[in-house]
Amino acid sequence: MCFSIEEFSVYDGPGIRTSVFLKGCPLRCTWCHNPEGQVYGRQIVRSPNGCIGCNNCIKYAEQTENGPAFTEKSIENCPGGLLRYCGEECEPGELCEKLLKNASILGKVGGVTFSGGEPFAQRDFLFECLGKLKGKMHTAIQTCGYTDADTFRQALTLCDFMLFDIKIMDDDLHRKYTGVSNERILENFIQLKNSGLDFVVRIPLIPGVSDTESNIRQSCEFFKENGVDYVELLPYNKMAGGKYKMLSRSYDPKFDTEAQVHLHPEIFSEYGIKTAVL
Ligand code: SF4
């Protein structure tokens, strides 16, 4: 199931790319700016623009332990037509046919990037698409690296490029802010490095969480050990909280969203690591 397909993306890998966003993610990063990608199934989202506050959507919502969940009736009874489904079943053959039509426009460097959510959460779908596109179009996976070692090993033989997030080096903090241990992520990263596949590492810089001197230093130590000399930095997007309202979810980031993000250029240069801020 996909929740978005974006064309002409320039930040999701080499060249100009089509990005396919798949639903489902095993992590719950408190700064997630794509919360509609976390849940596996189709969801109803509500746009705040144009709302007249009639509360019909709530009146027809079902009560769940996570608060009200919109229903088909919520969609039907919104006078502004502000509710819609997020997430669409797509069939690998059909999707790849569409993607291949653009292959010549995107050129040899550009291609398709599977993102999410977490693309490994839909392993079979992802692998079927990669198999169909192999050798015909440049393919990339944008991943948090959280999957089992065998799945990851297989992916390395199917795609051409990986965008790999490394968030927090301290395992307790990683668990606190993402909900999972970083152990298998770091193990998979070492597999990636040893595979010879082209990749880029990305760090989401979250104020007081991953942009601390200690996390950046520990990350640089790890990168140095593993021969990484270039890292892309993704400063926290202050607009991230807005999408939670669309899902009727409260936003509890567990950090100061207004604090300044620190880029620590001096630490990266001390370790001889070049950076780009996206
Ligand atoms: S039904 Fe539509 S207009 Fe009414 S409160 Fe809900 S979103 Fe707003």
* pLDDT of 122 over the 90 cut: yes
Atom in ligand 1 nearest the alpha carbon of residue 78: 1
Q: Which domains does the chain have, with CATH numbers?
A: 2-42+87-277 (3.20.20.70), 43-84 (no CATH)
Band (pLDDT 50/70/90 cuts) for residue 238 is: confident
Atom in ligand 1 nearest the alpha carbon of residue 81: 2
Contact criterion met (CB below 8 Å) for 44 and 75: yes
Give the DSSP letter string of 9-67.
ESSSSSSSEEEEEES--S---TT-S-GGGTSSS-EEEE--TT-----HHHHTPEEETTE
Atom in ligand 1 nearest the alpha carbon of residue 48: 7
What is the reported pLDDT for 261? 94
pLDDT top residue among 245 and 218: 218
* pLDDT of 106 over the 90 cut: no
Measured in Å, residue 51 CA sits from the centre of ligand 1 at 5
Measured in Å, residue 50 CA sits from the centre of ligand 1 at 8
What is the reported pLDDT for 66? 67
* pLDDT of 127 over the 70 cut: yes
Calpha distance 197→189 (Å, rounded): 11
Test site for ligand 1: of 56, 60, 75, most ligand atoms within 8 A of the Cβ: 56
Task: Summarize the confidence of residues 237-260 as an average pLDDT.
Answer: 82
Q: Count Cβ neighbours within 10 Å for each residue of 39-58 and write b for 16 or more, e otherwise.
A: beeebbbbeeeeeeeeebbe
| 26-68 tens-digit pLDDT | 999 999 988 888 988 888 988 878 899 999 998 999 887 767 7
What is the reported pLDDT for 248? 72
Measured in Å, residue 45 CA sits from the centre of ligand 1 at 11
* pLDDT of 2 over the 80 cut: yes
| 137-177 tens-digit pLDDT | 999 999 999 999 999 999 999 999 999 999 999 999 999 99
**Which residue, by CA, sits nearest to atom 4 of ligand 1?**
54
Measured in Å, residue 84 CA sits from the centre of ligand 1 at 12
* pLDDT of 135 over the 70 cut: yes
Band (pLDDT 50/70/90 cuts) for residue 17 is: very high
Query: What DSSP element (H or E) covers 68?
Result: strand 67-69
Least confidently predicted of 5-19, 43-57, 235-249: 235-249
Measured in Å, residue 87 CA sits from the centre of ligand 1 at 21
Q: What rounded mean pLDDT belongs to the chain?
A: 93
| Residue owning tokens 């998979």 | 188
267 in contact with ligand 1, CB cutoff 6 A:
no
Contact criterion met (CB below 8 Å) for 186 and 147: no
Contact criterion met (CB below 8 Å) for 198 and 160: yes
Band (pLDDT 50/70/90 cuts) for residue 239 is: confident
* pLDDT of 116 over the 80 cut: yes
Contact criterion met (CB below 8 Å) for 10 and 106: no
